[in-house]
Structure 1
Amino acid sequence: MPEHEPRQRRRKVTLACEPCRERKARCDGVKPLCSTCRRRSLGIEQCVYKVGNARTACSDDYTKALHERIRRLEQACALHGIDPDALPDANNDQPVNPQSQADLDAIVMGTSLTPLSSATNEGMESSSNSRRVTAMGTTTVEEEIGQSHDTTQAFYGSSSAASFLKEAYGTVNPPLSCQTSRNPQVVTLEPSSLFSGIEKLVLPPRPLADHLKERYFQQVYYLYPFFDKEAFEHAYQSLWLPSGQVSSPREYRDLGLGGDATSIAFHSSLNSIFALGCIFSDLSTPAKTTAYEVFFNRAKQNIGLDLLDLNDLSVVQTLLLVALVLQGTPFPDRCWNAVGVACRTAQGLGLHSMPKYDAQESRVWQVRRRTWYGCVVLDTMTLGRPTMITNLSTLAVPGSMDLNAQSAEGIERIRLQFQLESVRLSIILDSILSKVYQPWQCRLLHDEQSCVSHADTACQSMDTFVELQGQLQAFELSVPSFLSWKTPLRTDSISTEVASILAIQRNVLHARCLHR
């Protein structure tokens, strides 16, 4: 008995001709005349195909959406210097490096997944090595692998009540084994990756960016040297390099801004710097206004809880830069609140409690000290309101120095001396604000307030004014000669650039002293 050949299945087509669609007949989609129309002896003018039906439109929309998605992915790759043709093929039998694949996914999706290294896991295995004592007197064990932010720089640690309950629970219910509670394959989601995506990391054209950055460093930076200039410049230059040429020197990692050019703190600070640079740029007035608004809007997009979750030095520096931008806006409360959050974050990092000043201290300690000095200056001089740092240490301010322009290090110290003089003046102004506003007067009991007569208060106020006026006069006489407005020093021995910076600093310091 001969074997029956398998029946050939009808080929499905996406689009049927109009006669077949009306008769609901099977159409094979052959053009110009399908088989059904040929059997019915219909002409070519009757066997027509129309693409306006719902099924085809849906398919076309889906295809267009796929093409649009591919176009966006190619633009994202081009933005970060990635060649799509160099990516491994999905059908390639050769295994893909999981680290590089994760990095590429992180770039495209705007996230950064960092696997825990073996060294980190080994450190977690030993509870004695991971314990530390916070400023609140509690011991902490960093064992939350899924923890979303780094707490190594925290000064106070977590809540004391929470730490006590955690210790008590660990004593009553000890873990069965370290292996069951710790998974070496777990990855942590860094807070810097929690913002919406790469579309926020937008850079202006390179010539404009360089111009605005240079204007900022010429006119603003040495009035508020919150961060390390060299580290910031290195991170800025890396933004314009292909991914394979970007390096991250170890000496920049703990300096705040400049340690990571891909963080939301750096990009928010960079846009704040661009906004401040617009004020002193060579742009026309309409162009200045437009550019200022664009850069400031980009900067404030990343100011939120995700930024605070970073909890490092760059957050304080970013908030201070944003406060500088807000000084020029009709929103004084925003500026005051930004400075307040910066001071509270700095306090959480322990910037207010550092060792006594040492000329040979490390670069990290110098930047941390300058950042805290920035908090002090902005908190006392910005709006003339009660300050947050009244009951906190303002750190010991080193004395004035003589002009020594024989070396690059000496010139840099001369440029940075202005901040020290500003801090000394800020301490006096803080004393004025605290004694005039008396923010802690409400803490006195009612009967204690009644014991103070009006005459005694007036006498104390007069004595206070005389004392504060004497402090201001002593400050004016103690200002170093290259910053003094009473006996200015000739600056023939220094470059024009340094002389211009000193002139700006001298005028600002004089204005601050007058506007007390």
Structure 2
Amino acid sequence: MEPHTTSQIHAPRRKRLKIATACLRCRRRKVKCDGVCPACGACRRSHEEADCIYENAAAVREPGPSRFSDESRAAPRVPNASIQPFLEAAKDYAYPGLCSGLGASTAPETTNPSAIHPLQLDRSPSEPHGEDSMNGIIGDPARTREVYGSSSASSFIQQIQTAINFKFGIAHQITGEQKAIPRSRSPCPQTSLSNCEEPTLFLLPPKGLADGLIGAYWDNNWALYPVINRRKIETIYDSLWTSPTSANYPLIPMSIINICFAIGCHYSNLLSPKDRMGASDDFYGRAKRLYQKTGDIPSYERVTCLLLFAIYLQSTKHVFQCWMTVGKAIRMAQSLGIHLPESTIYLESVRDREYKRRIWHCCVWLDRVLSSTLGRPGMIPKWLFNSVPLPSMIDDEFFETQDIGSPIRPDGQPCIMAGAVKAMELYQILDEVLVDLYLNPNDSEDTKRRLIRILEIDSKLQMWNKSLPEHLQLGATATRDFLVERQATVLRARFLHARILLFRPALISYCVRGGSTSGTELFDANNSSLAEAMLPECSRICFRVAQELIEIYDRHLSRQNALGPLPNWWYSVLYVYNATMMILVERFLEAKDGIVKDPKAYQAWHAALRVLKCYSMVGDSAKRCVALLEILCERFSLDQPERFSQQQQNEISQDWDSLLAMSNPFTANDAGIPPFSFDDFIWSDAMPAEAMLTDGPIEPRM
């Protein structure tokens, strides 16, 4: 063997065997490398177990007959069946282009799809390549659309790889495609309609109805939550009616169009109020099935689709599904890096930049809304709210011509995005109300400190209100179209609802202390503190705000079709329900004094019931709210003009004190009293129907 070995290392043969690349291990040891994959000859002879790593993947040689093994000359280059699964797994974790011949035969190319994409046979579309739940991405991070932070194992691996490259003077090469496309915006596999097996999923409503539904969505929902890339969706929507076949449309845009139909049903006057829910359920079911066929590979469009699902689910009884859908959308957005500060490495167009901002802040908005509605902590920490700046006040038509946002567009018309941006600002203030007054674990904090915080937050709300552009102020006298008028009304309703939530803890504390509508029983200028003097004033503000909110709905809501320039009906039911509970408190305090001192409370009460009964045509939750309010009114005998007997007053006071104690955030919770909140809108959904329709005891949800 020695002569044979010596004859193979003569200089002429050494020159002929020079190759364009060598593995990193051979480079480090400065030995000859034949460039064969998965392991070169030198590494095999040194009994190295790991496969070789090459920098220049394009120059890696196909594994050929080895001159060091007689068996390799006789056996075909097909991996042993026992190690085939490991070789297939190795492909997933290798860098792009590395070991391209791993386990491959020398057969000519074929058009068989399974031969072109062999990995798709054993992996679901939603399962990322080369990743696991604990370590993240293993291999080249450019292979995934997901983003991993500095604490992840994959980030550490990347740092080690960079250090190795630097030590050996290897420049990290970035292709032109990688330079042009950020990782989170890189293309992802799209499933088209031709891959599906349910032809009924592709049925479209009549053109006139479809135009009405999509138009209702654009004018009513998108104007408030502009999360969709409107130009792209409108292009696909228009092509549905002009293209001879719909067999090549991606499923995600088709799912988005169907969920737009579902949401548009709630605003369309083409459908009767009683038919809207059924029609929207059908479109939602179709949109959900289309989405499920695409897997869960992270993408901007999938985040958008999930956000729209959550918006729709707010109108249903599926509370848990809505809560989880928002969480899934947030997690997918974070995996794409949408929450990260904008990078200057990649040049983004104004359109891409603005839609990234809109998607993230729609995630923040939904997180805050559900947290306040359900009384649960938010998923997005406060420091991440503005990690991405708020969207600019730039309408889609001016992305190419406008760089700086303004409430007024270059053509002199009001900016539609201004309403959405101001709404996002408001919900950031609402988060302070939620966290500081309702989710604060420090139950021992005294009333004075909480009142100080109430004043601070109310100051922010007033500054926000004064910062509204003129066309978004409800009392503006300028002529406005329906869309701008609705934005102004919606913002006013949300502002009033936020103030009710802000002052309600002070109102409950005032009632627990035995207050009245006049406030004279508690306030003594000589012996009372400033905090005690503020409690009745906070209560009066809460009553006035509730009356104004109910009056807005009573004035703008159409009794025929339950439509108007108002928030979505499910938000409207929540707002009116909370405001009416405050009127209930006011009426009780008036009855307790024995004299009806403010006829506005009586008028607001019946106006609120009219509004909720109107919304009962489109949602069962409004029916439950009406039943609950009527039961409470009867329980406290508020519609009886005669004065209560002493025994009756004592019984009512006991019931009232128990109800207030359940809802008082200023006092420590009694272990024997189940948690209840006036603001818990879902409580009315959870009440048994028997309790709604009888005079039996009203038991809070456990």
1:273 aligns with 2:266: no
Quote how far apart the aligned CAs of 1:317 are.
0.7
Quote how far apart the aligned CAs of 1:115 are.
11
**How far apart, in 2, do the equivalents of 1:262 and 1:115 lie?**
24
Partner of 2:487: 505
Quote how far apart the aligned CAs of 1:226 are.
0.4
The 5 A counterparts of 1:339-418 are 339-355=326-342, 362-382=350-370, 384=372, 385-391=376-382, 392-394=384-386, 395-397=388-390, 404=408, 407=411, 411=413, 414-418=415-419
The 5 A counterparts of 1:256-267 are 262-267=249-254
Partner of 1:463: 452
DSSP 3-state at the match of 1:482: helix
The 5 A counterparts of 1:109-508 are 141=140, 151-152=144-145, 154-156=146-148, 160-161=152-153, 190=189, 192=191, 197-199=197-199, 200-242=201-243, 262-281=249-268, 282-304=270-292, 306-309=294-297, 311-355=298-342, 362-382=350-370, 384=372, 385-391=376-382, 392-394=384-386, 395-397=388-390, 404=408, 407=411, 411=413, 414-438=415-439, 441=441, 454=444, 456-485=445-474, 487-491=475-479, 499-508=481-490
Quote how far apart the aligned CAs of 1:206 are.
2.6
**How far apart, in 2, do the equivalents of 1:425 and 1:277 lie?**
25
Q: Give the structure-2-normalised TM-score.
A: 0.41
**How far apart, in 2, do the equivalents of 1:229 and 1:398 lie?**
15
Question: 1:390 and 1:143, CA in 2 relative to 1: closer, same or farther beyond 3 A?
Answer: closer
Quote how far apart the aligned CAs of 1:425 are.
0.3
**How far apart, in 2, do the equivalents of 1:398 and 1:278 lie?**
28
Contact persistence 1:223–1:505 (CA under 8 A): yes
**How far apart, in 1, do the equivalents of 2:117 and 2:252 lie?**
18
**How far apart, in 2, do the equivalents of 1:296 and 1:326 lie?**
9
Contact persistence 1:155–1:349 (CA under 8 A): yes
Quote how far apart the aligned CAs of 1:231 are.
1.4
Question: 1:399 and 1:319, CA in 2 relative to 1: closer, same or farther beyond 3 A?
Answer: closer
Contact persistence 1:481–1:489 (CA under 8 A): no
Quote how far apart the aligned CAs of 1:513 are.
1.1
**How far apart, in 2, do the equivalents of 1:164 and 1:305 lie?**
35
Quote how far apart the aligned CAs of 1:467 are.
0.9
**How far apart, in 1, do the equivalents of 2:188 and 2:421 lie?**
39
Partner of 1:257: none
RMSD: 4.3
Instruction: Extract unaligned runs of 5+ from structure 1.
Output: 1-97, 103-110, 117-135, 145-150, 173-187, 247-259, 442-451, 493-498
2:140 is matched by which residue type in structure 1?
Answer: V
Contact persistence 2:148–2:155 (CA under 8 A): no
Contact persistence 1:379–1:387 (CA under 8 A): yes
Question: 1:305 and 1:202, CA in 2 relative to 1: closer, same or farther beyond 3 A?
Answer: closer
**How far apart, in 1, do the equivalents of 2:277 and 2:191 lie?**
30
Contact persistence 1:213–1:277 (CA under 8 A): yes
Quote how far apart the aligned CAs of 1:301 are.
2.1
**How far apart, in 1, do the equivalents of 2:371 and 2:426 lie?**
15
**How far apart, in 1, do the equivalents of 2:211 and 2:284 lie?**
17
Quote how far apart the aligned CAs of 1:422 are.
0.8
Quote how far apart the aligned CAs of 1:305 are.
8.7
**How far apart, in 2, do the equivalents of 1:399 and 1:190 lie?**
31
DSSP 3-state at the match of 2:242: coil
Quote how far apart the aligned CAs of 1:479 are.
0.9
1:346 is matched by which residue type in structure 2?
Answer: A
Partner of 2:93: none
The 5 A counterparts of 1:62-81 are none
Number of residue-to-residue matches in the alignment = 329
DSSP 3-state at the match of 1:239: helix
**How far apart, in 2, do the equivalents of 1:461 and 1:474 lie?**
20
**How far apart, in 2, do the equivalents of 1:368 and 1:261 lie?**
27
Contact persistence 1:213–1:274 (CA under 8 A): yes
Question: 1:420 and 1:235, CA in 2 relative to 1: closer, same or farther beyond 3 A?
Answer: same
Instruction: Extract unaligned runs of 5+ from structure 2.
Output: 1-109, 120-134, 165-186, 394-404, 499-702
Contact persistence 1:214–1:277 (CA under 8 A): yes
Question: 1:331 and 1:398, CA in 2 relative to 1: closer, same or farther beyond 3 A?
Answer: closer
The 5 A counterparts of 1:13-24 are none
DSSP 3-state at the match of 1:240: helix
2:454 is matched by which residue type in structure 1?
Answer: F
Contact persistence 1:352–1:372 (CA under 8 A): yes
Q: Which has the higher contact order (CA 8 A, sep 6+)?
A: 1
Quote how far apart the aligned CAs of 1:429 are.
0.8
Quote how far apart the aligned CAs of 1:190 are.
3.9
Quote how far apart the aligned CAs of 1:417 are.
0.8
Question: 1:301 and 1:462, CA in 2 relative to 1: closer, same or farther beyond 3 A?
Answer: same
Contact persistence 2:150–2:156 (CA under 8 A): no
**How far apart, in 1, do the equivalents of 2:232 and 2:409 lie?**
23
1:36-80 superposed Cα distances (whole Å, 9 cap, x missing partner): xxxxxxxxxxxxxxxxxxxxxxxxxxxxxxxxxxxxxxxxxxxxx
Question: 1:235 and 1:430, CA in 2 relative to 1: closer, same or farther beyond 3 A?
Answer: same
Quote how far apart the aligned CAs of 1:229 are.
1.4
DSSP 3-state at the match of 1:515: helix
Question: 1:504 and 1:297, CA in 2 relative to 1: closer, same or farther beyond 3 A?
Answer: same
Contact persistence 1:238–1:261 (CA under 8 A): no
Quote how far apart the aligned CAs of 1:515 are.
1.4
2:466 is matched by which residue type in structure 1?
Answer: L
**How far apart, in 2, do the equivalents of 1:383 and 1:513 lie?**
17
1:199-224 superposed Cα distances (whole Å, 9 cap, x missing partner): 23332233322221112112221011
Quote how far apart the aligned CAs of 1:141 are.
1.0
**How far apart, in 1, do the equivalents of 2:156 and 2:222 lie?**
44
**How far apart, in 2, do the equivalents of 1:459 and 1:420 lie?**
34
1:410-447 superposed Cα distances (whole Å, 9 cap, x missing partner): 64x711111110111011011221213447x5xxxxxx
**How far apart, in 1, do the equivalents of 2:160 and 2:465 lie?**
57
Contact persistence 1:239–1:261 (CA under 8 A): no
**How far apart, in 1, do the equivalents of 2:485 and 2:230 lie?**
20
Question: 1:206 and 1:232, CA in 2 relative to 1: closer, same or farther beyond 3 A?
Answer: same
1:280 is matched by which residue type in structure 2?
Answer: Y
Question: 1:138 and 1:406, CA in 2 relative to 1: closer, same or farther beyond 3 A?
Answer: closer
